[in-house]
Amino acid sequence: MKLYNYFRSSASFRVRIALALKQLPYEYISVHLAKGEHKQAAFADLSADGLVPLLELDDGNRLSQSMAIIEYLDEQFPGAALLPADALGRARVRALAQSIACEIHPLNNLRVLHYLVKELQVEEDAKNTWYRHWVRSGLEAFERQLAQPGTGAFCHCDAPTLADCCLVPQIFNAQRFQTPLEGLPLTMGVFERCMAMPAFQSAEPSACPDSGA
């Protein structure tokens, strides 16, 4: 398989974690968003939405959108289960994952931040204030969800799931923008336990071949 991705992309990071948890080999193909490579023909001809990640399967089929990719991997390959076996568990994990992927991430996406600066002429400090507000607000809601029954060592029970694949990249981004993370003991506890695992360590941005580009 080939994974077209960018080392700082939260969505790409999610898929790298899932691949590592599943112990699936893949070819890392860098699409440098900051350099606009996602808009160039080499990638635009492959991706209808021009977004990363894009997973190209061995048979040539291509999958987009990190959540769909991770669920596909979970359905098609053995190994670590990224969604629980029971319907209620699956619903809870998807809700936790979507709290990040649908509620937090879209507001702090790179293209949104660029639009604020380039098109709306928002000052850098104001942009960063925007970022920190929405990320902190979203993580506070996530913390309240983790306080509900079902949380264990990880977001759901005692093994990483789709929810943890989403949480870790969001915390990395929050730290990069110096978002206050105090007062989130459940969230940060899960994050720390995830980052003690080799699968999460191997997927983090600094471990990517294009991290120095």
Binned average pLDDT, 10 residues per bin, the chain of 213 residues: 96 98 97 90 92 96 97 96 98 98 89 86 88 95 98 98 98 95 98 98 96 77
Nearest residue to 166 via CA among 101, 70, 95, 80: 101
Whether 206 maps to a domain, the answer reads: no
Please tell me whether residues 22 and 102 are part of one structural domain: no
The whole-number pLDDT of residue 213 equals 65
Neighbouring CB atoms inside 10 A of 136's CB total 17
Please tell me whether residues 47 and 105 are part of one structural domain: no
Q: Is the link from the previous residue into 53 a cis peptide, with omega within 30 of 0?
A: yes
Whether 205 maps to a domain, the answer reads: no
Please tell me whether residues 8 and 59 are part of one structural domain: yes
Please tell me whether residues 14 and 107 are part of one structural domain: no
The whole-number pLDDT of residue 52 equals 96
Q: Work out the angle between the directed axes of helices 185-195 and 162-176 (0-180°, nearest 10).
A: 100
Please tell me whether residues 34 and 63 are part of one structural domain: yes
CA distance 33 to 40: 10
Please tell me whether residues 94 and 193 are part of one structural domain: yes
CATH number at residue 169: 1.20.1050.10
Query: Contact at 8 Å (CB) between 89 and 150?
Result: yes
Whether 119 maps to a domain, the answer reads: yes
Query: Contact at 8 Å (CB) between 186 and 31?
Result: no
The whole-number pLDDT of residue 117 equals 83
Q: Which two tokens stand for residue 65?
A: 């959108």
Please tell me whether residues 107 and 75 are part of one structural domain: no
Look up the pTM and report it: 0.94
The whole-number pLDDT of residue 166 equals 98
Please tell me whether residues 55 and 102 are part of one structural domain: no
The whole-number pLDDT of residue 198 equals 98
Distances (CA, A) of 87 to 83, 93, 149, 211: 9, 10, 15, 38
The residue range of the domain holding 45 is: 2-80
- Single-letter residue type at 167: L
